[in-house]
Amino acid sequence: MSPHAASPHARESSHIVRCPQCGKQNRLAGQVGGKQPTCGACKGPLFAAEPIKTTDAAWSRDVERSPIPVLVDFWAPWCGPCRAVAPVMDRIAAERAGRLKVLKLNVDENPQTSARFQVQAIPTMILFRDGKVLDQIRGAVPKPAIDKRLDHFGI
């Protein structure tokens, strides 16, 4: 651990991120942006280049305490427009890995979070930064429209 990570100020602005490859916990100090941070143990990327599943139970960890902005795709497997948006979410996750975390939340399996954000139609994508809603995108919109919204927030 660096001397900066041990200081009280560094602890206040740091985040613990579990490596998706090896499961080791990594402390990220300050803002993460631009460059993809890697695991101190296995050297793999700490942020997935593909959408990852989240749940009501994991919401706080995955969204509210995320060191980078999060785009959550509220969807259901039976929803045709949701299936149409899935490849777009895949591409956005890959293109913005390290700058944006893309999550998928199945509304049928996670009614608490869906109700909390008043998701009444799917697909709905909600953009969060520091656990706060920045923007909402409703419906199966094309990738350029989503990119424009993300670019507006510098993500």
As annotated, the active-site residues are 79, 82
C-alpha span between 82 and 74 (Å, rounded): 8
Q: Is 128 left (phi over 0), alpha (psi -120 to 50) or beta?
A: beta
Q: Supply 143's token pair.
A: 């990738």
Sort strands 14-18 and 25-29 into parallel, antiparallel or unpaired.
Answer: antiparallel
87 touches 77 (CB < 8 A): no
Strands (E), the chain: 14-18, 25-29, 52-53, 70-75, 101-106, 124-129, 132-138
Type of residue numbered 145: A
